[in-house]
Structure 1
Amino acid sequence: MKVTHNTAAGTFTLTGKMWSNTYPLDQLDAWLAFYRRQRDEHPKSGNSYDKGIAGLGRCRHSSRPRPADQLALRAEGQAGACVRVLGRWAEAVSRGKG
């Protein structure tokens, strides 16, 4: 499973071989818990859940607020997205969560 995220849109996307779904970033922890539970409850699946769990973990880490200079580099050249991301980071810093 492939996991990508769009911080500016506030979403992440799970993509399997034949399917793809996009969810709000605030649901990421629930999906991470779901796939960990699936792995634990279905040991015969071997390591089939490991890639998705690792991807969700990376997405979770990389979707957290970062210093402004890193956010600007990750805005992929989209000025509007950069402004929204920096605004969210500034809000998080002002709340003491940055």
Structure 2
Amino acid sequence: MCDLSPDELRAVFDKHAGADGKLSKRELRGMIKEKLGGDECKGAKNPGAMRELFSKMDEDGDGKLDFEEFKKALKVIKEVKEGKPLDQIQCLK
């Protein structure tokens, strides 16, 4: 999904975002399962990896991801998928 053009990425976001134009944890997880064929955070050592990732990506603390937060989250999800522990991902520090 990280290989999508900016317009395609926006279309994916808009399709899964709620009426408020933001992604909840549930909406993000559903999008990941649909677009990537599974929960890409399931291999993380921490069973609460999605919750931890989400809380770190939710920069304004509103419990949802706006489009800019979403783009940052995709980069982190890619690194988690590649086996990098959350505590070693630079943009989370």
Q: Report the TM range for the smaller structure's normalisation.
A: under 0.3
Q: Which of 1 and 2 has higher RCO (CA within 8 Å, sep 6+)?
A: 2
Whichever structure has more strand as a proportion of its residues is 1
Question: Normalized against structure 1, the TM-score is what?
Answer: 0.25
Larger radius of gyration: 1
